[in-house]
Chains A and B, each alone.
Chain A
Amino acid sequence: MNYLNKENIFRTINLGLRIYLGWIFIYACYYKILDPGEFALSIASYQFLPLILVNIFALILAWVELFAGLGLILGFRPRENSLIIIGMLAMFIIGISSALYRNLSMGCGCFASTAVGEEMTTGTLYRDLIWLGIGVYLFFAEDGFWGIEGIFRRKKVAG
């Protein structure tokens, strides 16, 4: 049996991209879940949301990142999770573009708090655009064959 066919090569690439993108989101949510106050401050520094929504948004967003990242890595609803990640990245890109346009001197709050995190630059924006590209690719190309969903699908067919 030839495993090195075109389909398997694509699935391997997709799996690699799923793990890469999923891991980024899990890594990013770590500090946000542990220290929601600092993350709320990072969100507030974008001056984008009404004050009253900042905390609840911080509490929810970190967990959405965790669920989407885990789902993508495990191959559970990969398209749905890609869609969520596309949505989040689109939101981050708008936020970063707006902050850069307004010359706000701040960290992006992507992986650590504004106080100690990386300085926001156009590089941050390009990086998010690349991740958005990967998310869009996975949304269209990923069928979850190598993942929880694929396993259940194959068992169902075999049964």
Chain B
Amino acid sequence: MDVILLQLLNGLDKGGAYALIALGLTIIFGTLGVVNFAHGALFMLGAFCAVSVQALLTISKKVKDESIKFFDAYKEIPYLEAWWGDTGAMIIDYAVPISILIAIPLMLLIGLGMERGLIRYFYKRPHAEQILVTFGLAIVVQELIKAQFGANPIPTPAPEVIAGSANVGLWVGLGESVVYPWWRLIYLAFAGVVIALAFAFLNLTTYGMVVRAGMADRETVGLLGINIQRRFTIVFGMAAVIAGLAGVMYTPILPPDYHMGMDFLVLSFVVVVVGGMGSLGGAVLAGFMLGILQSFASMNEVKSILPGIDQIIIYLIAVVILLVRPRGLLGRKGVMES
């Protein structure tokens, strides 16, 4: 029982991450019709917001390290700690939450810049060319990050107070055997909130309704005298923010490195397509479904019957779903089918 509950939590947590990463991608797909291979790079940039904030907070003065005699080595003492002692150390400790506040405006700017500077010229171009240009952009971005930060993952821990695990078992009356890291629970809640906000924005506000109308029929909306172009720009910015936030929040779980965007790129495409092109709900549903099934497929009991199933489960489910439901879980007819 505990095992099942734990795997369910793992699945929800994974699913939250998948859904959050896929959400931005499907918004860009669905509204702008652009195949954005740089989406993984946006996710990675978000994570490196946290790395940069942490680096800024830990700018250090160098003190000669006398214990090393072979060459000139320096100990690094962050100025914040040197000036403010424990308060300074605490600020550094909260680097990841702080970077969430910084990532929102920063990713918005990056998103707007990317749309205005590059993507908008590709709305009418074939998907193949969109792939090539965004893939090129992704490579450029990640190589620049590598030049600055190196290729090794960089530890970006969560604040000390929530570094440990919560006793989930006690909450649900299962005793002390079910513990789960605080940060993962927070991630799950955060994913839920961001997804709900995106939905509310697109479905409940007039602004969002115009955007959706523009998705369905750009020309008519344009004829009504609405500047649909500007709305699309803002939607792209919003997608970039969501991708970035997914990245920032993921850093305590996965120490970021320059290649993490590419690692998640294929997965996020699979999630979006399994969910169905042009459907936000589908992407979220698919994210959680794939996350949960992946967790259960990794259980030893399952693996002993089907060796290697955890290696391929995501793709296997994708194949089965696309064969049973031609347009994914909740896909609309005619979107990106040709």
Q: A and B from one assembly?
A: no
Binding site for A on B (CB under 8 A): none
